[in-house]
Amino acid sequence: MNTVRNCLKSLIGEAIRPLLKDSGAEINIELDIPKVAAHGDYASNVAMGLTRVLKRNPREIAQGIISNLRDSDSLLEKVEIAGPGFLNFFLKPEAWYGVIRDIIANPEGYGKQDLGKGARIQVEFVSANPTGPLHIGHGRGAAIGDVLANILTECGYDVQREYYINDAGNQMDTLGRSLYFRYRQELGEDVEFPENHYRGEYMRELARELIGREGKRFRNSEPAEVLPFFTDYAGRSILDGIKDDLDIFGVHFDRWFSERELHGVDSVRKTLEHLRERGFIYDSEGAVWFRSTSFGDEKDRVVIRANGASTYFAADLAYHLNKFERGFQATVDVWGADHHGYIERMRAGVQALGRGKDDLRVVLVQLVNLLRGGVPVAMSTRGGEFVTLREVLDEVGRDATRFIFLTRRTDSPLDFDLEVAKAQSNDNPVFYVQYAHARLCSIFEVARERGLEFDLATAGAETLALLRSPQEFELIKLLGEYPDMLADCARSLEPHYIPYYLHQLVSQFHSYYHDNRILGDDPALTRARLCLAAAVRNVTRNALRLLGVSAPQKM
């Protein structure tokens, strides 16, 4: 995207090329926005980075870069060399007005860019086993996966969202038995509930629901005959509940991929055969092994156990092969941090299947500590004592919940205090941002009432040139950074820059609003400021949309 930053970058790049000559070094140009205005609009340390390559002192190199600058678009006011060799760029005011024009010309499209060049990628997330309702940790993964998909789409990738349902294997049998025993208990029988089964209250509810629907007809059946039904029934009901919860949370998948689908077409066996042909499979101690050590894993992994059953990992190999066969160039897997031990073997698997190392990118989401008033809330799925995502949503609300999840780095553990999330509500960051949006809407509402509305696209250079206070430039520059910020999110697969950016943008706007009248006595100035206000509103709205957080017109 043609941001001011990118224009300046290529300008500098052109200036450096002659200096490099035969060295052939590829230089990454970094541009900082300095904290102090005296250091210019942008600052770069390239000259210092080049000292080792060029074996000259940094200030000399900086001077060389300056004299090579061909500022054909006339962006630059002046360039200074400072300190040990920083280049400080001071831009002409006119250089910035294009930002406002871009936003006004294409409000929803501002921020969209072609970083991904249309590459088909998949974001797989949540993928919680259908053995119980989603809890808050799943919620964090859901928010992150969903927003990453939004960001990647915005940055030019062709993204598909997928939920992998682990609906095969013995945990499902355990689930079916759990329901079966609850069913008999709910019918008044005195049967003992087995160890290590799903004893949550939701299983009792499910049993009562089943009785309401099917009556007592399974009571005297042979367990072996009816268990498949119970398993299926429980799995489906719970999955339906998960879908409902995600729907309320604003998370929607393009595809729900069932593990059974893999087994149905014998994919696991075929995948293992494929790997065996490539020499990555061997037999030992009665089991079948995958040679993951060939790719740096610490030990080889069993794919088929001595008892003949395939492991979860074997299914995952087949699943990832399936993803690539469907044409995805890469997959982003969002996992809970408790699965981190799994990354190496999965990476090994992907490479053994003939794919590049980076065709699988794993985003590890650290666990959530749920607190209530500073006191940890115990969480255990099998024990059944936990707060569900649904309950959190009912109590805290979707916007605040999402915003809190998204305001932390993914690999940083998160304390989620229900009381804080609620009680804070008035100075909760999410409301701070939403309030700014509502306030902006209100300005335009009043402008309409006073007949001050006009077609923003008609605002010419002489109008925008009225925006020249330091506060106004600060805002415009920040608006100009929006696409670069999004690109950073996409590259690092970290959504949290967006909430921080939003807070900063909106904070500057609130301050500006306080000090200046948008709708003032001077019609020309009013028009100019309405352009700025519109730009701020659009960017705020776009960013909130990516976060899946609402942008209210009124508060």
**Region 452-481 residues binding RNA, contact defined as CB under 7 A:** none
Selected from 1, 49, 218, 353, the binder of RNA by CB under 7 A is 49
Q: Return the number of the residue (336 or 548) whose C-beta is nearest RNA.
A: 336
Q: Which residues 245-284 are close enough to bind RNA by CB under 7 A?
A: 284
CB under 7 A: which stretch of 83-91, 95-103, 217-225, 534-542 binds RNA? Answer: 83-91
Considering the complex, what minimum distance in angstroms separates the CB of residue 153 from RNA?
20
Question: Is residue 385 a contact residue for RNA (CB under 7 A)?
Answer: no
Using rule CB under 7 A, residue 35 touches RNA: yes
For RNA, give the closer residue by CB, 221 or 511.
Answer: 511
Chain positions 414 to 433 lying near RNA, rule: CB under 7 A, are 414-415, 424-427, 429, 431-432
Sign of CA dihedral 546, 554, 538, 467: negative
**Residue 377, by phi and psi: left (phi above 0), alpha (psi -120 to 50) or beta?**
beta
- 295 touches RNA by CB under 7 A: no
Residue 58: CB minimum distance to RNA, A: 7
Residue closer to RNA by CB (options 28, 67) is: 28
CB of 66 to RNA, least distance (A): 14
Under the criterion CB under 7 A, does residue 445 sit at the interface with RNA? yes
The least distance separating RNA from the CB of residue 487, rounded to whole angstroms, comes to: 9
Residue 399 sits in the site that holds RNA (CB under 7 A): no
Window contacting RNA (CB under 7 A); options: 40-48, 216-224, 265-273, 385-393: 40-48
- Per-state percent for the chain, helix, strand, coil, to nearest 5: 55, 15, 30
Which of these, 478, 498, 443, lies nearest to 5 by C-alpha position? Answer: 478
User: Residue type at 327?
Assistant: G
CA distances for 211 relative to 180, 182, 199, 207, 208, angstroms: 11, 10, 18, 6, 5
- How many residues of this chain bind RNA (CB under 7 A)? 87
Binding test (CB under 7 A) with RNA, winner from 342, 372, 419, 474: 342
Does the footprint of RNA cover residue 367 (CB under 7 A)?
yes
Q: Judge whether 446 and 519 are in contact, CB under 8 Å.
A: yes
**Is residue 196 near RNA by the rule CB under 7 A?**
no
Binding segment toward RNA, per CB under 7 A, in 104-112, 311-319, 391-399, 535-543: 311-319
Give the whole-angstrom CA distance, residue 9 versus residue 76.
12
- Choosing from 14, 25, 27, 34, the residue that interacts with RNA (CB under 7 A) is 34
212: which residues sit within 8 A by CB, 6+ positions away? Answer: none
**Counting contacts by CB under 7 A, is residue 37 touching RNA?**
no
Q: Pick the closest to residue 549 from 391, 454, 435, 469 (CA basis).
A: 435
Interface region with RNA, contact rule CB under 7 A, candidates 98-106, 180-188, 348-356, 439-447: 439-447
- Among residues 496, 535, 544, 547, the one that binds RNA under rule CB under 7 A: 496
Residues constituting the chain: 555
Q: Exposed, middle or buried by CB within 10 Å (0-12, 13-18, 19+), for 82?
A: middle
Q: How far apart are CA 278 and CA 525, in angstroms?
A: 71
**Residue listed under structure tokens 């985003």:** 363
Nearest approach in angstroms of CB 188 to RNA is: 32
| CA 69 – CA 81 distance, rounded (Å) | 14
Cβ distance to RNA smaller for residue 23 or 553: 553
493 binds RNA (CB under 7 A): no
Cβ-count burial of 426 within 10 angstroms (0-12 exposed, 13-18 middle, 19+ buried)? exposed
Instruction: Give 195 or 225: the residue with its C-beta nearer to RNA.
Output: 195
CB-based contacts of 104, cutoff 8 Å, min separation 6: 456, 457, 459, 531, 534, 535, 538
- Residue linked to tokens 């899946």: 548
* Angle, helix 398-406 to helix 429-449, in steps of 10 degrees: 120
- Angle formed at CA 107 by CA 497 and CA 518, multiple of 5 degrees: 90
Give least dist CB 221 to RNA, A.
26
What minimum distance in Å lies between the beta carbon of 517 and RNA? 4
Site string for RNA, 500-519 (x = CB under 7 A): x--x---x--xx-xxxxxxx
224 binds RNA (CB under 7 A): no
Q: Determine if 522 is a binding residue for RNA (CB under 7 A).
A: no
